[in-house]
Amino acid sequence: EEWASLRQLLRSVAPYCHPSNAGGYCLEVGTLLQALSRFCFWRVLMEARRSSAPARPTLGANDVRALVRMLEPLVTQARYSKHRLLPRMAETSYKYLSRLAPELTLPTLEMRVAEGLQTVTAVHQTSVALSSLCMLVPVLLTLCPTEALPLPFGPGKPPASSLLSLARGPAVMRTLLELALPGIDPNDPTKMLLTLLAFGVLLQHLPLAGPVWTAEASSRRSASPPPSNE
């Protein structure tokens, strides 16, 4: 009964997520989408890290995927809204959904970002694609996907489909970054700023040294003679 009520609520909200709608209700719609995804993420994360038996039934994998399937189409549409705040709230919601079920969200988002970066006439789609690229970087370049996914399968046991989606991350990110390079255009300051921001986020998450390099550097320092004080 609760799931039926939620589906009915989201069906009634769906027309207001259309990119052509930019009324005063967009803030409430964005708050709803963001709250549903955020609190689901928090609840799953707390339940996955809880050691004692919970006082209430936990969210199962099917529950999480059902919620993601209901929210993903609405959030995707809301990202292209002409409202000032709704696209940002939709991106925040998509960030949580991509953590909850990457196999249901990342392939579609990657395709839309690639299309937006290659479009010539739809300038609005390019801006949304560059903004989404910034949001994708932490997910696609995560170094510890097993620990980063707060899925209700017990610690360290995400499904193989989720790990497969994340394993494709570096290759997908390389393709998207190559498509984003033409965005460094002095004739379009806004697009250039978004492009440089995406590359800045990339450099923040890109490791400068891996554990193997760290071990080799430590062994070399220990093997080298100490500097003389002459």
| Start-to-end CA span in the chain (Å) | 82
d(CA 208, CA 20): 43
CB 97 within 8 A of CB 34: no
pLDDT digits (tens, 9 = 90+) for 98-151: 888 888 888 888 888 888 888 766 667 788 888 888 887 877 776 555 555 554
- How much of the chain is helix, strand and coil, in % rounded to 5? 70, 0, 30
CB 76 within 8 A of CB 108: yes
Mean pLDDT estimate for the chain: 78
- The predicted pLDDT at position 142 comes to 67
pLDDT digits (tens, 9 = 90+) for 18-34: 888 777 788 899 999 99
CB 93 within 8 A of CB 37: yes
Quick one: pLDDT band at residue 165, thresholds 50, 70, 90?
confident
pLDDT at 185 over 80: yes
Q: Which tokens is 89 given?
A: 């709230």
